[in-house]
Structure formats: C-alpha cells, structure tokens
Structure 1
Amino acid sequence: MTSPITVPVVLGERSYEISIGPGLLAEAGTRIAALAPQARLAIVTDTNVAGLHLATLAESLDRAGLAHQTVTVEPGEASKSFTTFARVCEDLIATRVERGDLVVAFGGGVIGDLAGFAAAVIRRGMRFVQIPTSLLAQVDSSVGGKTGINSRHGKNLVGAFHQPSLVLADTSVLDTLSKREFRAGYAEVAKYGLINDAAFFGWLERRWRDVMAGGAAREEAIAISCRSKAGIVARDETETGERALLNLGHTFGHALEAVTGYDSRRLVHGEGVAIGMVLAHEFSARLGLCSQETPSRVAAHLAEVGLPTRIGQIPGGAGSADALMTAITQDKKVKRGRLTFILTRGIGESFIADDVDPAAVRHFLAEKLADGPDAAAPVTGP
C-alpha cells in the first residue's frame, strides 16, 4: 500500500495535517494516539456510517488503547438543527469527556459541521478530529474549521470557526457511497478548478471517469482540492476576503436547498452547488463578464458526470423567484443588505462581486424558473 498523501493546513498554533489515502480508518487509533496519548474519545456519527464503518474505527481505537463512546444521530441535513445539536451536546457531556479529550466527527458534511460545532462550545471548546466519509466532506467541509447548523431562515447561519486537530480522509470508504452521493461530492472537486485553476478543470474534463473509478486519479483529485482549500484558508481563515471564493455556486445552491426544505429526496447539497455554479457562470455571462461558451462548458462537464445543471431538473420545482430571493438575502455574505456573489471572467477566473443588483438577480432567476421542469434529467437516482 502506498503512503498517504499529506496536505498541511498552516495556521500557526492551530496548524494541522490532512492525510489522504486508502486504509486510514484502520490506522486511526495509532494516529490519534500520537496526537493525544491517553485521551478519551467521543465519536459523533450517523446510523448509516455506523452500520458500515464504526466497527473498523472502534477496533483501531481499541488496539491503540483509546477509550471511546459513540453518539449517533439520524443521517441527512435535517440533523443540522437546534434540536439535534442540543441533544448531541447533552450526550457528549454525558460521556464525561474533558477539555483534554477529543471529539471525533465521523461521517459526511452534516456530521462534520454538527460535531465540530458541538466541540467548539462543549466545555468552552474541545479539540476534535475529522474523519470524513463522503467525497464532499473529504475535499471541502472537513477542512478549514467552518462548523455550524441550519436555522429556519437559512443554511449554516449558526456556527463557529473551530479548526480540527487532524483530518483523516480514507479514500477506500468512498467505495461504499452511492453513485448519487459521489457525484454530489464531485461538484465540490470541480469547484476548485472553476475558482482559480483552469488546468485542474481541464484535467477533470479528461480524467473524471478515472476519478469516479478510484485509485491514484481519485486520490490526486482529492489532494489537489485539499491543497487549494488549505492555501486559501491559511491566507484568510475567517472569511474576511479571499475565502469567500470557496462559495462559488453556493449562494444560488443554498437558496435552492432552502426552498426545497432540505429534502434530500429532491436535492442534496452537491447537486445544489452544481446547479448554482452553472447559474453563477450564466449570470456572469448575462452581465458581460465572460463569454457564453464559459457557462456552456461548465454545464456540459457537470452534465456529463451526471449532475443536474438546471433548476428545472429539481423534482417538484424550486418555488418562486421571490422565495429564492428571500433565501439569498439571508446568505452569510450579505453585507448591510447588499448582495455579494462569486462571479467569473472565465474558467478559473472567479472573483468576489460586491453590491450585485438584487433586481437583476431576481429577473435572472425568474427567467430560469420559467424554463419549466426538465423531466428528461431528474436529479434523483442511485
């Protein structure tokens, strides 16, 4: 077995490493024991991940002599709620973990956000380890310290910046994902090429089938994505500037998630991001910032992979332009009522656009909604 790829996240005293490769779950005990000898662990996971992978993790921790208990929640975006968060906090306190112990976020992006936020506030802050089990979490949500839950007003509006002490991205666990879940995570991989790395996006256009198949190409794509995010986070940890670029497609995507009620049967996060990235490029072309060939190329690649690229592909639709605008105005990037979007001048040439005209956005969305449903390409599937 080849050695894992290591990507450092350089944040002074809060620096940590991301390890990427197959078989890391079986090594988790050794790696965590090196980080915190004799620490007790409280694992937060969901019932799906627990059924598939918890035994492997527990065996690894037992071999390393690390005491551990598990807190389990239901899978899905609905668990990023005040109700579930309160229960997780109470359950973590009940395990009697102390400030010198560790919380382990073991799951996809929902678990990482939920467990990381709990670690940020339990006993006024505990260290935690991210063991992401989805592609989306391995390339995005497990890295950079954003944690949080959803409000009825919008996604991720309650949370904290709280960096992990270690990230273990076991690429072999990705083989247990459904095709739909993997494709959803791929949207976040493509995002890094679209932000500032046109060569990477071109590589993905040529090699996406290899990434889907697994092996060296998949690990390379994950590592490139993590290096890109780690560099941005190191320069702008708390999103006062450049880090906002990582939200390419997310303003539209989060609004689509909100109006569909965070119902994963209709839309999951990565699918919302895929549609959102196409919308961001189309809106940029509408404003004359890039050529029409740019959004066409983005949409063609994401569609080839199997991702939705149109609002009309969402089962049950996406409400009205007014409902979407209400969700957009609750976005975290809104400043004193002014809309901020990530727009683009071309592939790999994204930038932060302040003070975008809300009327122009609403008119654009109304046109996209008027396209109607696209029964030929629904987002749901295996």
Structure 2
Amino acid sequence: MNEVHVNLGARSYDVRIGPGLLARAGAEIAPFLRRKKVAIVTDETVAGLHLATLQSALDAEGITHSALRLPAGEATKSWPHFATCVDWLLESKIERRDIVVALGGGVIGDLVGFASAVLRRGVRFVQLPTSLLSQVDSSVGGKTGINSVHGKNLVGAFHQPTLVLADTGILDTLPDRDLLAGYGEVVKYGLLGDAGFYDWLEVNAPRLRHDPAARLHAVTRSVQMKAEIVERDETEEGDRALLNLGHTFCHALEKATGYSDRLLHGEGVAIGCALAFELSQRLGLCSQEAPSRVRAHLKAMGMKCDLRDIPGDLPGAEELLHLMGQDKKVIDGKLRFILARGIGQAFVAEDVPPDVVVQLLRDHL
C-alpha cells in the first residue's frame, strides 16, 4: 500500500492506495469513529459489486451500518437526489461526529461530500472511490457538489474528507470504457505538470488494465500531484486552476450532451486536453508537435480525442462558447483557459481571444 498525506493543517488527511483496501475498510475507518456507526451512500451498480464486501469489513470491526442506494449516472448529481441523500442521513440520525462513507465513483463522492458539508453544518466523511477517475481526481481535494440546469458543479462546497481509501484492485471490475474515461484524468496530470510522468504513461499506460504495479504507480503519482497543488491552493485562488486543464471544453460538452452516456466526464477531459493543446499551438504558445503527440497517445489508447468522436449532433461553435461562459472559471466576466507551453508546462490564461476559440471549434465540428 502507498500513502499520500494531504497537508492542510487541521483538515489534513491520508489517501491510502493499493489492492485489498475495501476488504480492510472496517479496520481503516475504525480509529476515526467516536461511536461504532456509519452511514453508507452508494449507487445501484456499485452496490451490486462491492457493498457486501464493505459491509463484511465493517461487521468484522463491530461497526453498525446502514446503506442508501441511489441510481447510477451523472444525472444523480442533482437537487432531487441530493435532497434524498440529506433526508436519509437525517432519518438515520447521523450526528456531527459520525462518519458518512461515500462508496462509488465521482458522482457519489461529489454528492455525498456536499451532503456531508451541509448536514448539521458539517459531518465527517470517508471517500471509498471505486472508479479510476475518482481515485486519481475527484476523491482528493475536497471539492464537492452537484450540477444545475445552468452547468456542471455550480452548487457545492469545499469539504475535505477524513480519509480516502483507493482500492486499486477493484478497478478490475470497471468496464473498459469507464477505465479509459478515468485515464483522461490520469494523462491530464502528466500534461499539466510532469513531462516525465507523461513519458512514462506513453510507454506503460496500455498495461494499466492487467498490470497491478503499473496501475498503483499511475494512481499514486496522480494523487501526489493533486495533493501538492491542493496544499498550495485549497480553494482554487491560483495554482489549483491548473487541475482544470481540458475542463473548460469538457464542461461545455457535458452540458451540450445533457450529462448523458453520450460523453463520460473523463472522455470530455481527454477531448478538452487535446483542444487546449491545439488552442495553445494556434496562439503560438507551444510547438505543433505537442498537440499532435497528445492526440496520437489518446488514439493509441483507444480514447475519444475529437469532437467528431462524440455520437449525435452538437451545438454550433458560438453556442459551445456561450456554455463555457457559465463555467466556474469565469472571473470578472472573462473566461479562463488552462493552456500549455509544452508537455508538462500548463498555465492559466485569462486573455484568450474568443474568436480563436470559436474558429477552433468550427474547424473540429
């Protein structure tokens, strides 16, 4: 097992990474409990695969538990399901000193984290991420929230977990599409700040499905990079915005596709990273080789990397730009993009000409 410490003073916590953590979850969580009781929130798909293992692990430590199963999918990050979660936790008499366990991918982690942030003005929660995307990104850093009709993750709070248990063994149960979607967030870390990690991924990423050691390294390095950035900028006043490489495009595309299975979040991140590097090249910030290298790697992994890879019709370039205008990264009415001077050299740009963005989108539509 690897361990990454997220150093945030009184809000510090550990991210434990490795196979078998789900079966040991009771022993891992027990030291944090004031009384031996937890509430588990999961989704129907994850419950069928992993809930019994978690319950057995809790039983082994004498920890009582109850579980709420929500529908699977991005649409669950909504007001109705959020209200269901909060009301169930109150009915379960979860107290401020208790712990709520989020067992699932990014959707469950985000929703449960937000519910924990507002329940009794803040209860503790443990992230037990079950997807590659949630293990390397959404379970770490304390961003929680739900979607609105106006856009993705526009309602939420910063609320750090008490502990994160990333069981890399359970990634074996992921469908190939979900594993690849999660890889969109892994490759983002190399692109934004670690060219050496990106070099490693070009060689080793095809082995992530079958090589536990490669998987452990990819997850651990991604978490290390996120932890380092979150420690410098917990509430996204500066450096943390770098983690949004590809996300300005991604969130607009997710809104345009109705948060449906047409486009998974990690797929949108991969497409967004490819577009961000091409935008950087068009603005003269990086060489022509960089965006070509990004697209070549994504294609070699069998991933979506172009707008044309998204099934169905998309809005026009101007409408996509309008959707970007609702993004959380807008400051003083100006849209911020994460651009790059090369592989591993991302930076925040606030003065990108809208007409260049529109032309880029037109060319790819």
Q: Give the TM interval when normalised to the shorter protein.
A: over 0.9
Q: In the alignment, which residue of structure 2 is the partner of 1:196? A: 193
Q: In the alignment, which residue of structure 2 is the partner of 1:130? A: 127
Within-5 A mapping of 1:221-232: 221-232=218-229
Q: TM-score, normalised by structure 2?
A: 0.99
1:100 partner amino acid: R
The reply on whether 1:350 has 2:352 as its aligned counterpart is no
Contact 1:77 1:110 in 2 (8 A): yes
Residue 306 (structure 1) shift: 1.0
Residue 355 (structure 1) shift: 2.5
Q: Which SS does the other structure have where 1:224 is aligned?
A: helix
Residue 243 (structure 1) shift: 0.2
Q: In the alignment, which residue of structure 2 is the partner of 1:184? A: 181
Partners of 1:197 and 1:189 lie apart in 2 by 11
Partners of 2:277 and 2:182 lie apart in 1 by 19
Q: TM-score, normalised by structure 1?
A: 0.94
Q: Which SS does the other structure have where 1:356 is aligned?
A: coil
Q: Which SS does the other structure have where 2:351 is aligned?
A: strand
Q: In the alignment, which residue of structure 2 is the partner of 1:12? A: 9
The reply on whether 1:155 has 2:148 as its aligned counterpart is no
Partners of 1:65 and 1:230 lie apart in 2 by 32
Q: In the alignment, which residue of structure 2 is the partner of 1:276? A: 272
Show CA shifts across 1:42-77 (max 9, x none): 111000000000000001001111111111110000
Q: Which SS does the other structure have where 1:26 is aligned?
A: coil
2:74 partner amino acid: E
Q: In the alignment, which residue of structure 2 is the partner of 1:322? A: 318
Q: In the alignment, which residue of structure 2 is the partner of 1:217? A: 214
The reply on whether 1:310 has 2:292 as its aligned counterpart is no
2:35 partner amino acid: Q
Residue 359 (structure 1) shift: 2.4
Q: In the alignment, which residue of structure 2 is the partner of 1:87? A: 84
Q: Any unmatched runs of 5+ in structure 1?
A: 370-382
Q: In the alignment, which residue of structure 2 is the partner of 1:260? A: 257
The reply on whether 1:361 has 2:354 as its aligned counterpart is no
Q: In the alignment, which residue of structure 1 is the partner of 2:26? A: 29
Residue 37 (structure 1) shift: 4.4
Residue 364 (structure 1) shift: 1.8
Contact 1:43 1:104 in 2 (8 A): yes
Contact 1:39 1:100 in 2 (8 A): no
Moved over 3 A (4+): none
Within-5 A mapping of 1:94-105: 94-105=91-102
Within-5 A mapping of 1:26-65: 26-65=23-62
Residue 214 (structure 1) shift: 3.0
1:252 partner amino acid: F
**Greater mean alpha carbon deviation, residues 38-47 or residues 220-229:** 38-47
Q: In the alignment, which residue of structure 2 is the partner of 1:245? A: 242
Show CA shifts across 1:273-319 (max 9, x none): 00000000000001010111100000100111111110011000322
1:296 partner amino acid: S
1:335 partner amino acid: I
**Greater mean alpha carbon deviation, residues 37-46 or residues 333-342:** 37-46
Partners of 2:306 and 2:263 lie apart in 1 by 12
Match of 1:332 among 307, 328, 332: 328
**Percent identity between the aligned chains?**
59
The reply on whether 1:142 has 2:139 as its aligned counterpart is yes
Q: Which SS does the other structure have where 2:336 is aligned?
A: strand
1:355 partner amino acid: D
Partners of 1:238 and 1:173 lie apart in 2 by 30
Residue 11 (structure 1) shift: 0.3
Q: Which SS does the other structure have where 1:364 is aligned?
A: helix
Q: Which SS does the other structure have where 2:192 is aligned?
A: helix
Q: Which SS does the other structure have where 1:339 is aligned?
A: coil
Q: In the alignment, which residue of structure 2 is the partner of 1:372? A: none
Q: Which SS does the other structure have where 2:208 is aligned?
A: helix
Partners of 2:312 and 2:138 lie apart in 1 by 28
Residue 110 (structure 1) shift: 0.2
Partners of 1:314 and 1:5 lie apart in 2 by 36
Show CA shifts across 1:15-38 (max 9, x none): 000000000001100111012242
Contact 1:105 1:130 in 2 (8 A): yes
CA-atom RMSD in angstroms: 0.8
**Greater mean alpha carbon deviation, residues 251-260 or residues 28-37:** 28-37
Partners of 2:194 and 2:314 lie apart in 1 by 31
The reply on whether 1:115 has 2:112 as its aligned counterpart is yes
1:353 partner amino acid: A
Match of 1:299 among 269, 272, 295: 295
Residue 323 (structure 1) shift: 2.1
Partners of 1:209 and 1:263 lie apart in 2 by 27
2:86 partner amino acid: C
Contact 2:151 2:326 in 1 (8 A): yes
